Structure 1
Amino acid sequence: MPGRCGFCLATAEPERPWCQACFESLPWNLPACPSCAEPQPPGALAGRCCGQCLTRSPAFRRARVPLRYEDEVARLMQRFKFHASPRAGNVLLELLEAGLPRAALAWPEALIPVPLHPRRARERGFDQADWLARRLAARHGLVLAHAQRRQATRSQRGLDRAERYRNLRGGFVVERALPSRVALLDDVMTTGATLDALAQACLTAGAREVEAWSVARTPLRR
């Protein structure tokens, strides 16, 4: 409802879809690996890369993912992703903007959403990453570019980290030359395999630096 928090229906902050109490209680992704944004245990040293990134650095230079995929954020994301709720999408978009430094939003020379394969997009009827990217680009004057999936890879659900990387190896292509600085955008980042594969395609297309942006990151699984 207009003027009401999207989480608890209390009076919202001016020009925001949330109240301050709910905003502060959201699962912010801190601390996190600066390279891949994997959530780190409480007390982990800020700015230190995780063991996975020390072993194998991703193709993108850094990841910016302000929230963890749990609690209210997970419920909001499910309404957006599986029920195409524009209200949920707008709240998520504003949370992403609130979690990205102003300098980060001005950094990319092109913004590329993680593409769905056309067949999967038709089946779902909704491309959530493209929805977010178009609105983010319009709000901040970013150039929107596109990539294509080479084939309809099997779903990443249920695959472990190594299987996800194998499933997407060589899975994307960018047909036009890209500028030097490119940001990739997805709704949820799990292991980073999808964004890593897309970043490799962007580097092949001429990008020199790639960042991975997402609204939420899945929590560390023990």
Structure 2
Amino acid sequence: MHGVDGWLRRALPGRCVFCLASLPGEAPWCAACFAGLPWNRPACDGCGEPQPSTQAGFRCGRCLRRPPAFDRARVPLRYTNEVAGLVQRFKFEASPRAGSLLLELLMTGLTPDAPAWPEALVAVPLHPRRARERGFDQALWLSRRLARRLGCPLVRAVRLRDTPSQRGLDRGERRSNLRAAFGVSAGLPGRVALVDDVMTTGATLEALAVACRRAGAREAEAWAVARTPLHDR
């Protein structure tokens, strides 16, 4: 498969990254494991919230009542099972193997029109103190490689406030916690995609979308690898 990091192939030559079965082609996974991943389908086109099959193709009631600050969400997977394990190894252990696999899954899960859509990418930034403590900025890592794959610039946003942890907060509390938390230099192009590893309620990406619109973006999409199902929050 074009674009998979070369070292990932070397680490597991000819083997599925999930089950270690022999592979006949270039893809890093077998067809059975790929089909069995927790794909986020159907999902709300507005916020990426997983939806029941009867709601396929419709926006959820929350987006109809209060549309998010971004125009749509592209989040191909659900944060559960194998995907949750990959994200945790990437985020907290800085595993480049897990990160490369998540990047490939994101690219594979995007609709055909998506790669040519953004004129720039904007990564969800960590506060400098949090980045120093963790020693790794997962959204920036993903965004740099994604920007190279798509051939578009990466614009750096800044976190203006070291906001308290979002863990345990509901949607409204998360929005309040992140109000005016981000800054982006003026002069953004018209179409930007905002990039994070996991989307929980969407509050972080909403706050960044607001900052991007103030900096000149007319349209903003939220891109993440995985969406946390409502019952898992």
Q: Does the alignment pair 1:2 with 2:8?
A: no
Paired residues, what number?
221
Segment of structure 1 superposing worse, 5-14 or 115-124:
5-14
Tell me, yes or no, if structure 1 residue 92 matches structure 2 residue 102. Answer: yes
CA shift in 2, pair 1:13/1:207, >3 Å:
farther
Q: Which AA in structure 2 matches 1:25?
A: G
Give the aligned partner of residue 180 of structure 1. 190
Q: What are the ranges of 5 or more consecutive residues in structure 2 without an aligned counterpart?
A: 1-11
Q: Which amino acid aligns with 1:19?
A: C
- Stretches of structure 1 that go unaligned for 5 or more consecutive residues are none
Please state if 1:73 is matched with 2:73. no
- State the alpha-carbon separation in 2 of the partners of residues 118 and 159 from structure 1: 22
Higher mean displacement: 117-126 or 15-24: 15-24
Equivalent of 2:37 in 22, 26, 31: 26
User: How far 1:171 moved relative to its partner?
Assistant: 0.8
DSSP 3-state at the match of 1:3? coil
Q: Give distance in 1, aligned partners of 2:122 and 2:188.
A: 10
Q: Aligned partners of 1:51, 1:71: CA distance in 2, in Å?
A: 27
2:161 aligns with 151
Task: After TM superposition, give the deviation of residue 39 of structure 1 in Å.
Answer: 0.5
Q: Which amino acid aligns with 2:91?
A: K
Q: Residues 13 and 171 (structure 1 numbering): CA distance in 2 closer, same or farther, change over 3 Å? A: farther
User: TM-score normalized by structure 1?
Assistant: 0.97
Runs of 4+ in 1 over 4 A off after TM superposition: none
Distance 1:45 1:215 in 2: 22
Work out the CA distance in 1 between the residues paired with 2:28 and 2:93: 19
Q: What is the distance in 2 between the residues matched to 1:57 and 1:47?
A: 16
1:1-222 to structure 2, matched below 5 A, reads 1-12=12-23, 14-41=25-52, 43-221=53-231
TM-score by length of 2: 0.92
SS where residue 44 of structure 1 aligns?
helix
Is this contact kept in 2: 1:129–1:187, CA < 8 A? Answer: yes
CA contact (8 A) 2:186 2:214 kept: no
Alignment-mate amino acid for residue 42 of structure 2:
P
- For the Cα contact (< 8 Å) 2:90–2:96, is it kept in 1? yes
What RMSD in Å do the two structures reach over aligned CA positions? Answer: 1.1
1:12 aligned partner, one-letter code: L
- Cα deviation for residue 119 of structure 1 reads 0.5
Q: SS of the counterpart of 1:53?
A: helix
Tell me how far 1:87 sits from its aligned partner.
0.5
- Cα offset for 1:13? 5.6
> Cα deviation per residue 1:160-199 (whole Å; 9 max; x = unaligned)?
1111111001111112310000000000000000000000
**8 A contact 2:200–2:227 mirrored in 1:** yes
SS at match of 2:226: strand
